[in-house]
Chain A
Amino acid sequence: MGKENPAEKALNLIRGRLCDPTFVFRPLSGPPDSNYSKLKFIVSTSITEGCNNSILLLGPRGSGKAAVLDLVVGDLMEEYPDSVTLIRLNGLLHSEDNCAFKEIARQLCMEHHLLFSKMASFDENSQFIIAMLRECGLAHKTIIFVLDEFDMFAQASGKQRLLYSLLDAMQSVTSQAVVVGISSRLDADQLLEKRVRSRFSHRKILFLPPSREEIDSLLEHLLSLPADSSFPSGYVTQFNEKIKNITSDTRFKDMLKTFLNANSTVNSLLKFIFRAVSSMNLESGLLSLENFKTALSSMLRQPKLEAVRDCSILELYLLVCMRRLEVKEQSSYNFISVMKEYKTIHDSFQTSDFYAQNVCLRAFEHLREREVICYAENRGQSQAGEYRPMKLLISASELHQGMRSHACCPAILLKLLDH
């Protein structure tokens, strides 16, 4: 390893932690009424008591559903080796019945070291699956079916045959299995046919965004360095002290609040922290409040605003003219009408920025390349660019804001915009 800077090592460690869902969600599994314990309770009773169950995990994307399920399955595989078989299906890939049955048969064959034939027909696959379910039931091995993107299984084919067969197998005494559906749609079980819904056991676990206390403890868990020998001890205490200072600072709390007001899932929080940590100053080796500020501004970007801020004065003029034409209820306008408006402004206000038509055309093209304006319709390609109707791709408020934050926007333009 050589003489690696402890700051770099710390950075690598923290970044590694942020990318590992097992580490992130481990402390959330402590309390007894957390989603982890609920899920674990249900699946482990199915394993120990041999009763079948079906359950649905609901929550917005990035709230940790698949991560918690992986944690639970990993723990159960350690506790009960050789009694758990895991079959994973994804609604984006396997929503068609033939495909799904083939995939289940293939995974079962892999688990039990059997030869899988790609030529097997749908009938053969389904009989094999039923026979395997019975065998595993008699041998007291539980099969856990994980159906990712559960709503796609329900929506894809009209008959929902896969869901019906799986949930029907849950109703028989001979099989020992658990069906876990993961979905981001809250009404996923309303999408099921009534037959299938009757066989589903209506257990739902909702993954809500973490509360303030949970976020604080999560931050501490992720950012504190361990006091082991690989880091110089003085550095560790210094680092952890700085983290405590930052997290108790009111400015940090405000920043966090602004961020969480827009999106509050665990995943987006991890991205925010990742960016902050990546901009850590490697010389001092400590995090600071500025890191978090830069991270926040980079996450809440407004790209169109930045485009307007970088425009030249002539381009701003053209944008203002287009906006005025819109306000005057002129539904479609092209370059020529914009030029007319431009001339009118120049005549009435005697501005100093009056340029020739070809210069304006260049400015126009520039705006179009930056996708601040575009052609209103795709036909009429044969027409010259000047005569084709255009439209604005930014809203009036964005234009307003962009111009106000522009370095040297002439005051008259703002007045013209407000009109």
Chain B
Amino acid sequence: MRLVLHLDSISISISISTSLFFFSTMPTIAGPSSSPHKHIVAARSENTGVSEVNTPRKRKLRSDSAAEVASTAIVTESSFATPMKWKSPRRCAVSSPKALKKEDSKGKLESPVMSAVKDRFDCLDVKSKWNPRDDDQMRAVKEALHVSKAPSTVVCREDEQRRVLEFVKGCMEQKKAGSLYICGCPGTGKSLSMEKIRQQADDWAQQEGLPCLETVSVNCTSLTKTTDIFSKILGESETGKKVNGSSSPLQQLQVLFSQKQQSSSTKMMLIIADEMDYLITRDRGVLHELFMLTTLPFSRCILIGVANAIDLADRFLPKLKSLNCKPLVVTFRAYSMEQILRILQERLVELPYVAFQSKALELCARKVSAASGDMRKALSVCRSALEILETEVKGSTDQEPQSPVTEDQVVKMDHMVAALSKTFKSPVVDTIQSLPQHQQIIVCSAAKAFRGSKKDRSIAELNKLYTEICKSSMITPAGITEFTNMCTVLNDQGILKLSNARDDKLKRVSLRVDEADITFALKEIRFFRNCLL
């Protein structure tokens, strides 16, 4: 959503003429509105639902949520659209999340949060039982856990958000420019937090009576050339003015920021550059110029760069240090187990029923935080577990369609374990176990051949080992042509690696899979166990 909307905000003025070529003949897919651009503008300004009045209630929910921008609208829309089921327990429950937030001060969540969370789960009498056979309910749970659904409040990132917001507020108050660099692994909530901060900064500006903030959000993967980012920034600040052909956008920006502005209440510009490492070129010119824009005397832009590398600012912008305007660095650490658990529970708490056993959620959080701390993976595992439950329930429906849900049919530990193994297990072991016999012998001989320090061998040498193993167990070895074919098949699958050489016999072979995986896969078969000794 962020990619789409941000492009629109920048590019409406520039490209409407070129794009109309496409859309002039487009039939109306989405109802009465004829052009997608007009459609977008209408949606943004009105912030209401779209034209489908005849579609079922569930679908309206999706298209409504597609059009809105503000975060609070999600909760109001949901309570709006499903009056019967969606009595949000937050309104009537014992412990409210706001009270919770005051408790944890530094974002380090230990026992107070866990006990508070457990309290909330104790008041389960408010929640009704979940029937997994009901399609609507299943759909609601799946939607709550989908990656694309932005939660109404971003939990576990309060500390980082506060820091960034303080910085932005400070810049806005003093009308000074500044730069900030946000780093962290993928899936740690950086882009999501940026969205929230943008809205919060807007709200705060309105509150304080300051001129509202202009925002330019660019995802740098969408730029054809790295210098396009300057034209995007320029386009935002000078809407209506045509792009001057004589000087480059960068020069125009530099000129703009070096002159004193006429009016005193000029707007501050917030520039958010997502996936900033795409701007890194060999001479590091673009990145450097971008950050230098904030150092110009009358610059009024607040630059926030988002990327994955922790030391991007140090490695690629050394000159800034000498000018004493190094950007402030905020690190978004990978989520810990408690944080993942809390986020999952926050998402599920809005539903009026319990779909997951708490132990299952804990297991998921533990495993994912040990692996990467990536929130997207945790959501994906939970959805996968839901699907396993669904197939199980649907499978048993065929036998007894009339029987009611007898026991608690929620996602339990065994579903979660199955989902985790599906996500984290590599398919190598299964594939090796199901290879035809000759190919297994080849894999075995490769494991033996590369045990020492030698990293690659020629096909002829491997063939010799292969025939030895075959002869020792009275199996007719395949000829050299067949052998080379089988090696090619294994190369295609990523088990062996064949180098490119014109002559078949001169190709070098190396092993791509761990020897431990091979031993594990073939340990059931006695023949291979003896071979690999």
Contacts and interface: CB of A to CB of B under 8 A. Distances in A.
**Which applies to chain B's interface (DSSP): helix, strand, loop or mixed?**
helix
Contacts of A302: 479, 481-482
A186 B495 contact: yes
Interface in A278-332: 300-305
A13 interface: no
B15 A124 contact: yes
B423 interface: yes
A133 B4 CA distance: 10
Contact of B25 (A114, A159, A171, A395): A114
Interface string B298-322: 0000000000100000000000000
A61 interface: yes
A195 B308 contact: yes
B460 A395 contact: yes
A173 interface: yes
Interface residues of A, number: 79
B527 to A, nearest CB: 13
Contact of A262 (B66, B426, B480, B486): B486
A261 interface: yes
Contact of B376 (A42, A173, A198): A198
A141 B63 CA distance: 12
A127 B7 contact: yes
Given A127-B19, A139-B30, A398-B479, A185 B492 contact: yes
Contacts of A169: 3
A136 B30 CA distance: 8
Nearest to B52: A138
A138 B63 contact: yes
A101 to B, nearest CB: 10
Contacts of A110: none
A189 B493 CA distance: 13
Nearest to A52: B148
B264 interface: no
B377 A198 contact: yes
A117 B29 CA distance: 21
B393 to A, nearest CB: 13
A174 interface: yes
A50 B146 CA distance: 11
Contact of B492 (A50, A134, A172, A184): A184
Given A130-B3, A302-B481, A206 B489 contact: no
Interface residues of B, number: 84
A69 to B, nearest CB: 17
B436 A130 contact: no
B36 interface: yes
Nearest to B50: A138
Contacts of A305: 479
B1 interface: yes
A3 interface: no
A168 B384 CA distance: 20
A185 B431 contact: no
A127 B30 contact: no
Interface centre among B11, B427, B438 (most CB of A within 10 A): B427
A201 B441 CA distance: 34
Contact of A172 (B1, B22, B50): B1
Interface string A378-418: 00000000000000011101100000000000000000000
A138 B221 contact: no
6 contacts: A32-B391, A127-B11, A133-B4, A134-B66, A165-B222, A173-B62
